[in-house]
């Protein structure tokens, strides 16, 4: 008989927090039906508490962009900033005459509210976004809606992102890039490519996206990778797709006809394609506190140097040049003592805030990032000049 005190009573419970890991079984040997009922009630309460905790402790991340004319983009800024803050959404959104671009994170209901707010504008009604999640780490520390000349800076004002190349869905991407007549180009920057890319992809070794047009022009010369006489197809990819919208549009403006790009970017590919069938190698750098993600958009193994923002491996962190919050093997010889002292103080404040269980957004890094880029550009320019001098000497 079901209510017999001698029959074990099994309740199978799968916590939502571990929905993708092994479920566990709670076994109760209740002596009477009343106690079984109480046991059920206890698990019902515990289960729904787990569900509530799960949604309250997790952050929904939405990456979005759309090329569309927004002549009133300046007037859009303050209302959008206020709406995001009102719904506890953080991140960065860029507004420009050519459209909107950015990544935001927050509670599920907050993200849904902001997306609905944006799509209420008829010009953004078809705005698409890609989602991922962060369980135990807030992806962003503040909300910023910024006004820009371009939503992705290429320095080519006449290039219209709405005139992009041919989209290729993740399911068809492997076939395209396995074609020997296809030149596969990673349009991201060097520090992003360092930790992962598609098998066989060309790395332009750019510091910023502004350098990409110059690289294309160099490779378009006779004998170059993009020499039109070779009649090669060109396939491009980037993190979420926006840089490829512009890069393929730029290629088309130069007269290239067969130009393709990965729809939804690397993130959509990693979300869609199972790892055994994937041609992706490594992890994908993302511009938030997760630093990197792998297949299934699972957060990766990298952390970020707070001085130069370069992603760091365990080996990097074991280096004598790595000091948490101050330097890493990629920047230890480039930062000044003044900067080092500033970074050290900032890290001290971060540690104190963690001890008090308080948030600390840290110092703004825009200036440091700008200086790092300038230094890299200067080094590259110096190398080019030296190469030109050597060529001139040989010709003489």
Q: Give the distance, in angstroms, between the CA of residue 56 and the centroid of all CA atoms in the same chain.
A: 23
What are 249's two structure tokens?
Answer: 């549009």
Catalytic option among 3, 27, 84, 238:
238
Q: Which residues contact 70 (CB under 8 A, 6 or more apart)?
A: 76, 95, 96, 97, 98, 99, 100, 123
Closest among 108, 109, 87, 91 to 100, alpha carbons compared:
91
pLDDT, average across residues 46-72: 69
Judged against a pLDDT cut of 60, whether residue 394 lies above it is answered with yes
Phi, psi angle pair for 256, to nearest 5°: -80, 130
Q: Do residues 22 and 50 lie in contact, with contact meaning Cβ atoms separated by under 8 Å?
A: no
Considering only 167-181, 253-267, 276-290, 345-359, which range has the smallest mean pLDDT? 345-359
State which CATH number among 3.40.30.10, 3.40.50.970, 3.20.20.70, 3.40.250.10 fits the domain covering 161-284. 3.40.250.10
Radius of gyration of the chain (CA): 25
pLDDT higher for 363 or 390?
A: 390
> What's the pLDDT tens digit per position in 143-181?
999 999 999 999 987 888 889 999 999 999 999 999 999
C-alpha distances in Å from residue 328, one per residue of 47, 87, 188, 365, 368 = 44, 36, 22, 15, 14
pLDDT (0 to 100) of residue 39:
45
**Topology of the domain comprising 59-147:** Alpha-Beta Plaits (3.30.70)
Q: 51: pLDDT confidence band, cut at 50, 70 and 90?
A: very low
Residue 358: the pLDDT is 59
Task: Clarify whether 331 is annotated catalytic.
Answer: no
Residue scoring higher pLDDT (41 or 111): 111
Say which residue, 121 or 51, is predicted with more confidence: 121
Question: What H or E segment, with its residue span, contains residue 382?
Answer: helix 366-395
The CA distances from residue 107 to 42, 58, 75, 184, 290, in Å, are 27, 7, 26, 37, 17
Q: Give the pLDDT confidence score for residue 25 in this predicted structure.
A: 33
Confidence at residue 359, expressed as pLDDT on a 0 to 100 scale: 56
Using the structure block, give the residue that is written with the tokens 């209901």: 109
Mean per-residue pLDDT, 179-187: 96
Chain Cα centroid distance, residue 320? 29
Report the C-alpha gap between 396 and 389 in whole angstroms. Answer: 11
Beta strands in the chain (DSSP E): 9-13, 24-28, 59-67, 90-96, 99-106, 128-134, 143-147, 166-168, 182-186, 196-198, 233-237, 259-262, 280-282, 284-285, 292-293, 303-304, 311-312
Chain-wide mean pLDDT for the chain? 82
pLDDT above 60 (res 19): no
């Amino acid at each position: 008989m079901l209510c017999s005190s001698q029959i074990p009573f099994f309740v199978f419970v799968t916590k939502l927090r571990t929905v993708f890991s092994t479920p566990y079984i709670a076994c109760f040997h209740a002596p009477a039906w009343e106690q079984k009922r109480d046991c059920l009630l206890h698990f019902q309460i515990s289960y729904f508490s787990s569900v509530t905790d799960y949604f309250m402790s997790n952050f929904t991340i939405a990456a979005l962009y759309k090329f569309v004319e927004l002549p009133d983009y300046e007037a859009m800024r303050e209302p959008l900033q206020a709406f995001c803050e009102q719904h506890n959404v953080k991140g960065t959104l860029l507004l420009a005459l050519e459209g909107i671009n950015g990544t935001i994170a927050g509670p599920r209901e907050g993200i849904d509210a902001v997306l609905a707010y944006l799509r209420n504008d008829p010009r953004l009604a078809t705005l698409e976004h890609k989602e991922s999640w962060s369980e135990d780490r807030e992806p962003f520390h503040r909300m910023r809606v910024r006004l820009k000349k371009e939503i992705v800076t290429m320095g080519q004002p006449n290039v219209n992102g709405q005139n992009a190349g041919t989209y290729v869905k993740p399911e068809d991407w492997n076939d395209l890039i396995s074609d020997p007549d296809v030149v596969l180009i990673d349009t991201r920057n060097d520090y992003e490519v360092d930790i992962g890319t598609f098998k066989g992809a060309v790395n332009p070794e750019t510091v910023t996206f502004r350098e990409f047009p110059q690289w294309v022009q160099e490779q378009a010369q006779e004998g170059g990778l993009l020499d039109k006489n070779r009649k090669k197809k060109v396939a491009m990819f980037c993190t979420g797709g926006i840089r490829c919208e512009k890069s393929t549009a730029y290629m088309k403006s130069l007269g290239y006809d067969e130009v393709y790009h990965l729809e939804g970017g690397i993130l959509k590919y990693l979300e869609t394609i199972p790892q055994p069938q994937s041609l992706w190698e490594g992890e994908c750098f993302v511009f938030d506190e997760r630093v990197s993600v792998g297949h299934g958009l699972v957060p990766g193994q990298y952390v970020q140097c707070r001085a130069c923002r370069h992603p760091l491996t365990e080996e990097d962190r074991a280096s004598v040049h790595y000091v948490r919050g101050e330097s890493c093997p990629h920047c230890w010889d480039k930062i000044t003592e003044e900067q080092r002292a500033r970074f050290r103080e900032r890290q001290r404040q971060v540690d104190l805030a963690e001890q008090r269980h308080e948030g600390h957004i840290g110092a703004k890094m825009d200036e440091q990032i700008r200086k790092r880029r300038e230094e890299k550009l200067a080094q590259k320019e110096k190398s080019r000049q030296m190469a030109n001098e050597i060529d001139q000497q040989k010709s003489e």
